[in-house]
Amino acid sequence: MKFARQIFISYAHLDNQPLSADQMGWVSLFHSTLQTLLSQRLGAPADIWRDDKLHGNDDFSDEILDQLAGTAVFVSILTPRYLKSDWCKKEIRSFCQRAEADNSLVVDNKARVIKVLKLPVEAGDALPPVLGRLLGYDFYEIDDEHVPHELDPAYGDKPRQAFLRKTNKLAWDLAAQLTELQRRPQVAENAANDPGPGPRPTVYLAECSRDRREARDAIASELACCGFTVLPDERLPDDEDDYLATVGRLLERCALSVHLVGSGYGRVPDGDRQQSVVVLQNELAAAHSRQHGLRRVIWLPAGVASPQPAQQAFIDALQTDAALQFGADLVSGDLETVKSAVHAALKPPEPAPPPPAPADGARVHLVCDAADRKAVVPLIKLLRARGLEVSLPAFVGDAAQVRETNRQLALDCDAILLYYGAGDEAWKFHQQNDLRKLLGSARERPLKANLTLLAAPPSDDKAVLQALADPDLLDGLERIDDTTLSPLLAALGAKEPT
């Protein structure tokens, strides 16, 4: 797509008045900083236009209309004054109407309108509907007294650094969008002639509490720079039911979800559950991991705590509840550590090395908890004495590669034996659930047995299973010998011990 101009900045002139006579106005500083950063990211001077005239009662000028007609991306700096300015509202409505007329307001799921929030505002019906769906870029922070402050270098070094980080994030996003808009016809032509390897995976970067937003922005910027699509890319609903449905649809598009857990509880959608978006998204992502194999990364920095009882309860549960952690790498290091974990999870898994050929053609995959590795040694020796090959799960390494290795081991065996020892009931449930889904996959080797072996230590849950005596259950709580394993050995036609 061809445009005469790359960026149009729409703003209220009142918002560009400096706080003191020796300072640059906020909009001028924003324009200048964005100009430099965007030019560096594009590798060529960025073409950014804003009207620096004071309009008074002037008519909506032809010059403005001409600039809007040939603009690729419209950047609106929203403030209370902006919403009261008829001139500003004419600018954004005119741009959206023209873009909608040729079906180009949203291109490749990216709106050509950027919402910069200099101060928190509720636009309501004052602006085109597309603005309400956008996440926007918050150029303000709220202090301990709940008073918003612009990210303005005039307030000190910390706001200055935050201003630069936020402008840098916007510059990266704009560079990617402008590049795609310029390449779009060529990309479509190339895709028709050569589909290529396909796009990079999409990442769900979960909404977080205020104390993790800076880290979220950093991760989002890095992923965008590497060519990954990051969701959500629009504002999520405030209604709980709508929120759950929307997040569920977004997760279906993603190969990875990333959850940043901090001391804040996060916003609470309006609904019966009254749970924060942090809790709700983790729950939905865990369910998608169980059902569809969604990979996950959870960042829970070491020592994080919350003064809010609900958030502290979630932090405590997240460290102990296997259901909340399901499918996730729980990362406790710094921001660079979690970035590394995210990139590792996005690497395509390397093919698992083929298991060694069994001596007598029968192979048992022994599924156990990592804490049982020493306890299963006598069992492995017993099975090997009967001419059987035995494989154990992979426990250490890159999460995606470990998952793929274990999947391949389970598919390439003749029998699966779930060793129910150190693992608890939740562990057993998740293992059986994963195996059940896996066994629905195509197999080159028919599965001859799928059994669970009760092993020490005893527990109430194991006692119940012992009493039920299901046919696929082997009772090894007192001892594990040929008699205990006879159903497995018979199914595999194992030889007599030598």
Write the DSSP assignment of 218-272 as a string of letters: HHHHHHHHTT-EEE--BPPPSBHHHHHHHHHHHHHT-SEEEEE--SS-----BSS
**Does residue 365 surpass a pLDDT of 80?**
yes
Task: Please state, in angstroms and as integers, the Cα–Cα distance from residue 46 to each residue in 34, 151, 175, 315, following that order.
Answer: 9, 23, 9, 45
**Does residue 116 surpass a pLDDT of 90?**
yes
* Cis peptide bond upstream of 232, omega within 30: yes
**Does residue 400 surpass a pLDDT of 70?**
yes
**Does residue 87 surpass a pLDDT of 90?**
no
pLDDT, position 198:
54
DSSP at 376? T
Instruction: Flag the least confident range among 75-89, 146-160, 172-186, 352-366.
Output: 352-366
Q: How far apart are CA 257 and CA 251, in angstroms?
A: 8
Q: What percent of the chain has pLDDT over 70?
A: 91
pLDDT, position 358:
44
List Cβ neighbours of 373 (8 Å cut-off, separation of 6 or more).
392, 395
How many Cβ atoms sit within 10 Å of the Cβ of residue 287? 16
Residue with the bigger pLDDT between 125 and 188: it is 125
Structural domains of the chain, with CATH = 1-195 (3.40.50.10140), 199-348 (3.40.50.10140), 363-492 (3.40.50.450)
pLDDT, position 350:
59
Write the DSSP assignment of 422-485 as a string of letters: SS-HHHHHHHHHHHHHHTTS--SS---EEEEEE-SSP-HHHHHHHHH--TTEEE-SS--STTTT
pLDDT, position 21:
80
Split at pLDDT 50, 70, 90, the class of 144 is confident
Most confident listed range (223-237, 301-315, 322-336): 301-315
pLDDT, position 132:
78
> Which of 346, 347, 343 has its CA nearest to residue 335?
343
